[in-house]
Amino acid sequence: MTAVKAIIKVDGIAIGQMRSIRATENIQRGDVRGLGNMFSQELPALGVTCTFNCDFYCIDLTRTGIPGLDPKNVQSLESYANSLMLGKKPIDVYIYKKDANVTTGQLIVDETEEKDFAVIRDLFLESSSFDITEGQISGRNQSGRYLTPIMLPV
């Protein structure tokens, strides 16, 4: 999978300014030793923590980022606080892989199709930042957690 073949969508709309996305799933394990034993006998799974991080080219703060993830388009600070406290429907991010569908010859691709690559479900924002640096393209970063581990098709 290369970046030029990736299509990232939220609610069916492609996110065109995304530079990168990273999903990390950590399994927390317990340590079972037993009396009189200093070496681990078992490492049972106790939980899973799923995190994401994505970077964007920063066009402006309204259009840059995962749509609907940070509810700042409100009338007041109180409305923003209520949106965060009361929560809302989490965001799902769909990652597709662009593949050739029909080819004529060796180098000309007439059609492409989107194949499922991964779905990151139930995203919650924990951090958002942007940077403007002399001589560089400005960027925006969003990170947080998601509830459901990425499942692969059977």
Q: Render pLDDT for 78-91 as a digit per residue (tens, 0 to 9).
A: 988 888 888 777 88
Residue 103: predicted pLDDT: 60
What is the rounded distance in angstroms from the CA atom of residue 142 to the CA atom of residue 45? 28
Residue 108: predicted pLDDT: 65
User: E strands, 30-107, where?
Assistant: 45-57, 91-104
Residue 119: predicted pLDDT: 92
Which residue ranges form the domains of the chain, and what is each CATH number?
Answer: 3-29+41-148 (2.30.110)
Q: Render pLDDT for 3-49 as a digit per residue (tens, 0 to 9).
A: 777 888 898 888 878 889 999 999 999 999 988 999 999 999 999 99
Percent with pLDDT over 90 in the chain: 45
Q: Render pLDDT for 92-142 as a digit per residue (tens, 0 to 9).
A: 999 988 887 666 666 666 677 788 889 999 999 999 999 998 888 899 999
